[in-house]
Amino acid sequence: MLHPDGIRINGQTGEMAPKTGGYIKRLSELSAIFQDKIALGEQVSSYEDPVVYEVIEYRKDGSDLFFGTTTMYPGDVSGEFFMTRGHFHERRDLGEVYYTQSGKGILLLEDREGRTETVEMLPGVCAFIPPDWAHRSINVGAEKLVFVWVCNPLASNDYGDILQRGMRKLVVKDGVGFKVLDNPAFHMQSGR
Ligand SMILES: [Fe+2]
């Protein structure tokens, strides 16, 4: 029998108490998703492999829901903002919710037919991610971007497709703001 619980979440830092797990992604682990590998390598060696994002989660075996925070650090590689790997869910019938707590980001989505969408990630905005839309979050601000996500643990992240072929759009620096461009390196390989 699972018991109810109340988890304290700090919307500025992403800290959760209690928590059951989490992980950190550093820039060197994300070289596949950035275009400029040379600039990325220089940044890894000059800045001690910066943290791009941290995930903290609250997960209980047997539950149909789990949730957590993702905290994304500000930064870019040759104008490409720090971003998450991006994924589809293995279970194509399960979506997700991203509720932004602080910072400023863009949620980039695309479906299997090639339609793309963006949703602004601003404090108080709760993004609805429908089933079978790939999703990637991108910190376009100067501060940490912190958001709470809620998902079914059976959804299971499928990173392969996006790591292999990229997403159709890029979000890059444009002066003090950002712009969304077609990704010149995008190539459709998987045929799924
Ligand atoms: Fe997801």
CA distances from 51 to 26, 84, 139, 171 (A): 4, 11, 13, 19
Distance from Cα 98 to the centre of ligand 1, integer Å: 9
Distance from Cα 45 to the centre of ligand 1, integer Å: 30
Whether the pLDDT of residue 192 is over 50: the answer is: no
Distance from Cα 156 to the centre of ligand 1, integer Å: 8
Whether the pLDDT of residue 191 is over 50: the answer is: no
Q: What is the pTM of this model?
A: 0.95
Determine the average pLDDT of the residues in 83-90. 97
Distance from Cα 169 to the centre of ligand 1, integer Å: 18
Rg over CA atoms, the chain: 16
Give CA–CA dist 101/96, Å, rounded. 16
pLDDT of residue 185: 85
Determine the average pLDDT of the residues in 72-78. 98
Distance from Cα 160 to the centre of ligand 1, integer Å: 13
Distance from Cα 91 to the centre of ligand 1, integer Å: 10
Lowest mean pLDDT among 16-20, 146-150, 185-189: 185-189
pLDDT of residue 65: 97
Distance from Cα 175 to the centre of ligand 1, integer Å: 30
pLDDT > 90 fraction of the chain, expressed in percent and rounded: 92
Query: pLDDT, tens digit, for every residue of 122-162?
Result: 999 999 999 999 999 999 999 999 999 999 999 999 998 89
Which residues 6+ apart lie within 8 Å of 12 measured at CB?
101, 102, 144, 146
Whether the pLDDT of residue 57 is over 70: the answer is: yes
Give CA–CA dist 20/167, Å, rounded. 31
pLDDT of residue 189: 56
Give CA–CA dist 147/78, Å, rounded. 25
Distance from Cα 92 to the centre of ligand 1, integer Å: 11
Distance from Cα 158 to the centre of ligand 1, integer Å: 9
CB burial of 33-53 (b: ≥16 within 10 Å; e: otherwise) equals: bbbeeeebeebbeeeeeeebb
Give CA–CA dist 75/52, Å, rounded. 8
pLDDT of residue 188: 67
Distance from Cα 157 to the centre of ligand 1, integer Å: 6
Which residues 6+ apart lie within 8 Å of 143 measured at CB?
74, 102, 103, 104
Distance from Cα 27 to the centre of ligand 1, integer Å: 20
CA distances from 138 to 9, 64, 103, 149, 172 (A): 21, 27, 11, 15, 10
Distance from Cα 88 to the centre of ligand 1, integer Å: 7
Query: pLDDT, tens digit, for every residue of 25-38?
Result: 999 999 999 999 99
pLDDT of residue 89: 98
Please give the structure tokens belonging to residue 133: 């839309």
Domains and CATH numbers, the chain: 8-190 (2.60.120.10)
Residue 76 DSSP SS3: strand
Determine the average pLDDT of the residues in 73-100. 98
Distance from Cα 84 to the centre of ligand 1, integer Å: 11
With beta carbons less than 8 A apart as the criterion, state whether 146 and 101 touch.
Answer: yes
Distance from Cα 120 to the centre of ligand 1, integer Å: 17
What are the beta bridge partners of residue 58?
67
- Average pLDDT of the residues of the chain: 95
Q: How confident is the model at residue 187 (pLDDT cuts 50, 70, 90)?
A: confident
